[in-house]
Amino acid sequence: MAVERIDAVPGFQGAQAVADAILYEGYLLYPYRRSSVKNRVRWQFGVLLPEPWAKANGLADVRAGVAGSAESWWQQTECLVRASKDVLVHCRLRFLQLRHRSVEESLPDGTYRAVDQAGTALSFDEAVAREFDVHVPIGELLTGEKRFEVRMPGGVDVEPLAEGGRLRWEAWPLRASLTLSMVACDTSLFRLRVHVENTGQTATPDASRDEALRASLIASHVLLAVPGGCFVSLLEPPVGAEAAASACANVRTFPVLAGAEKDSEVVLSSPILLYDHPRIAPESPGDLHDSAEIDEILSLRTLTLTEAEKREARATDPRAAAILDRVEAMPPDVLARLHGTTRLPVPASSARQAVDPAREPAAGDPVRGAQVSWWSPEADAAVAPEINSVMVGDTLVRRGSRVRLRPRLRGSDPQDMFLDGRAARVEAVLLDVDGAHHLAVTLEDDPGADLHQWYGRFRYFAPDEAEPLPDGEPA
């Protein structure tokens, strides 16, 4: 399937909606005023600075990782693709280009002088979204890496002010490189690498960070698509692809499957860590830019701003003005939807299945909460952790059972790794709204176990992260 535009790939529009939210994450924080301390140090995610400046300011020694808050002059994405060699790899590089808005007053000789403020107009750093698209066949990438030069021009725009003077916007040119390469893991599985680097040299090593940001790619991330092929999840790789997934080296960004759950042709590689198939909540009426703050709380807070604060916010940035307009015009039913909702990731019928769905539960059977719906009269008994039980291997585990902890190597809390092999006592078998069981445990050799039992502070593991431990077996 030859698709010449990445926008036409199924699932791409949904992926870009999430990417748009990331692009402006932290762009401007509540209360959206320039004078707010939170808005004096900006641009925290996916910042690619000029290499000379980064090295001179100690960023060459920053430990590489997937978190995009660590600044450098480059970032790297590696992900797995299943496809034939004639499939096109589409890549869209996206970032913000800083643009400074200055207020200038007119002088008698016809020239202008920059001032901090004139009337309601304020000087401020804005940003413009930029995109750069390439597409290359897999077969061509297998013959060698392909490097593309990215050039974004600078420029100056002016606009007269009604009260005299003018606004002046200045953007500085950006230079970067986008390099794609690919190696074969087997006959149909390939590892794709996307390397993005700021190649600009305009910021001198002794420049301030604000000056270096003028020549930086901000909130840099990539969208990838392989129409006719599919990407492999790195978070939950299928059987046979685990080793290839572990070999992927992602630096200051991380790729996840994007688009709808059924789609696997699109990947979003972001400086902000996400799960596979992220999406914007349908209840959210628009971006708030404030570090994924809860929409309802932030909207209510915005309504409490004084008129003077609102005037400053509107003068700070057009995006702040748009937030104020949207919140003030929000109908009560839209605001009520922000209060919260409940979603079942799996069909309700699946969540209510018994362990053996072909047999009706009989008297004396251990109670399994998944046998009844959460809204049924029997729910209280079904979710009672003191009497719930679950099969772990061939053993029925309930409160009081002994287990040996075996945390997963991937997708677990890093602290759980220190508990591998430790003996624990099951304090409760819990059931969540997805129909999944969880073991609440205390460690057998923990001197504070009695205290944890008393106030209900437990450690939690999935049944497949535990092995039944007979009562007589040493811990």
Task: Give 234-289 pLDDT, tens digit per residue.
Answer: 999 999 999 999 999 999 999 999 988 888 999 999 998 899 999 888 888 888 77
pLDDT value at position 353? Answer: 36
b/e 309-333 (16+ beta carbons within 10 angstroms → b): bbebbbbbbebbeebbebbeebeee
The structure tokens listed for 334 are 């839209």
Nearest-angstrom CA–CA distance, 411 and 111: 61
- Residue 116, SS3? coil
What 369-377 contacts at long range (C-beta under 8 Å, 24+ apart), as own/partner pairs, is 369/431, 370/431, 370/435, 373/348, 374/433
- Our separate counts of H helices and E strands in the chain read 12, 22
Residue labelled with tokens 């008297």: 363
Q: Which two tokens stand for residue 202?
A: 């305009």
Residue spans of beta strands (DSSP E) within 107-160: 112-115, 117-118, 121-122, 124-137, 146-152, 155-160
User: Rounded to an integer, what distance in angstroms lies between the CA atom of residue 351 and that of residue 360?
Assistant: 16
pLDDT score recorded for residue 40: 84
Q: Cα–Cα–Cα angle for 100, 19, 282, nearest 5°?
A: 115
Provide the whole-model pTM: 0.71
Q: Which residue segments constitute the domains of the chain, with CATH numbers given?
A: 6-10+39-280 (no CATH), 348-468 (2.30.30)
48-72 as b/e, with b when 16 or more CB fall inside 10 Å? bbbbbbbebeebeeeeeebebebbb
Q: Which residues of the chain have pLDDT under 50?
A: 1-2, 346-382
- 47: Cα separation from own chain's centroid: 15
Give, in degrees to the nearest 5, the angle at Cα 122 between 119 and 123. Answer: 140
Length of the chain: 475
Check residue 322 and give its pLDDT.
93
What is residue 305's predicted lDDT score, i.e. its pLDDT? 93
